[in-house]
Amino acid sequence: MAQNLQTPCLLVAMAHPDDAELLVAGTLFHLKEAGWQLGILTMTAGDCGSTSIPREEIARIRYGEAQAAAKFLGATYICAGLMDVEVFANTKNLRRVVDCMRQFDPDVVITQSPVDYMLDHEETSRLVRGACFALAMPNYETRQNPPAKTGRATPALYYADAIEGKNPLGERVYPHFYVDITQKLAKKRDMLAHHASQREWLRAHHGMDEYLDRMTTWAAGFGGECGVAYAEGFRQHLGHGYPHEPILQNALAQYVHVRDGS
């Protein structure tokens, strides 16, 4: 997966299959159209995502769904092989995540919000933040067999909005900027629909297409904050040692908005 300046590479690193679709897929379709190389990494294969199907089987099903969804977008999908509800920022997991991320050697990384409704999401955020820092350190050994090549440079790091855009106390955490995904909403819904096991589960419980509709409701809510129909929100990690250039904002300039009244 070699990159060059003509084809920048973006990696979305999320906890579970379908998090990328729920949170950032509209933006991904914009970037695909702009010629970017795209990757999706999930920490787990979603082994707890069913109340009736055994762990190994639902993980296999959801891995397949994630792979098909990534193919629909035109992205490469890999899974770090961690377990649902056990995503923790520890040494063993960091080594695995760094190795997975080195396989992409991305210019830009999007991960989950540092504050979110679920610990798996917050710990993924911490793991990916740490992994970005270690990506290009030649002395950081992932101890995988065989290990991936050391990355070229620390990638620019962005955080997606939390699920529903809220922290664990239910308070809205506003993004730095929004991407207008109105033109890509239909594709985002189609990509999310690849996660049939999750969609059916919710449809059986709620009697309506809750899975696709609540994502659409969230995107409409974010859009309402910046004056467009549908949007996705992002914050850039601007700590010492990480690129501060607004790479994503520049690449998506025609779709980028700030919050109304800010």
CB of 121 to Zn ion, least distance (A): 6
> Whose Cβ is closer to Zn ion: residue 88's or residue 242's?
88
CB of 259 to Zn ion, least distance (A): 25
Helices (H), the chain: 19-33, 55-73, 91-104, 119-134, 185-193, 196-206, 210-226, 247-251
Considering the rule CB under 5 A, would residue 110 count as an interface residue with Zn ion? no
> Whose Cβ is closer to Zn ion: residue 170's or residue 207's?
170
CB of 118 to Zn ion, least distance (A): 6
> Whose Cβ is closer to Zn ion: residue 117's or residue 242's?
117
Query: At residue 177, what is the residue type?
Result: F
CB of 17 to Zn ion, least distance (A): 8
CB of 19 to Zn ion, least distance (A): 4
The interface region with Zn ion, picked from 7-15, 99-107, 178-186, 212-220 by CB under 5 A, is 7-15
Residue carrying structure tokens 């800010």 = 262
Beta-strand pair 108-111/156-160: parallel
Determine the Cα–Cα distance for residues 30 and 174; give it in Å rounded to an integer.
Answer: 22
The interface region with Zn ion, picked from 8-16, 73-81, 122-130, 219-227 by CB under 5 A, is 8-16
Determine the Cα–Cα distance for residues 101 and 198; give it in Å rounded to an integer.
Answer: 26
The interface region with Zn ion, picked from 19-27, 71-79, 83-91, 247-255 by CB under 5 A, is 19-27
Among 9, 16, 73, 219, binds Zn ion (CB under 5 A): 16
Range 217-224, long-range pairs (CB < 8 A, 24+ positions): 218/22, 218/163, 218/164, 218/165, 219/26, 219/181, 219/185, 219/188, 221/165, 222/161, 222/165, 222/175, 222/178, 223/178, 223/180, 223/182
Determine the Cα–Cα distance for residues 79 and 9; give it in Å rounded to an integer.
Answer: 18
| CB-count exposure of residue 22 (10 Å: 0-12, 13-18, 19+) | buried
CB of 15 to Zn ion, least distance (A): 5
CB of 206 to Zn ion, least distance (A): 18
Among 11, 12, 15, 219, binds Zn ion (CB under 5 A): 15
The residue of the chain with the least Cβ separation from Zn ion equals 16
Considering the rule CB under 5 A, would residue 122 count as an interface residue with Zn ion? no
Determine the Cα–Cα distance for residues 62 and 68; give it in Å rounded to an integer.
Answer: 10
> Whose Cβ is closer to Zn ion: residue 37's or residue 124's?
124
Considering the rule CB under 5 A, would residue 19 count as an interface residue with Zn ion? yes
What residues line the site for Zn ion (CB under 5 A)?
15-16, 19
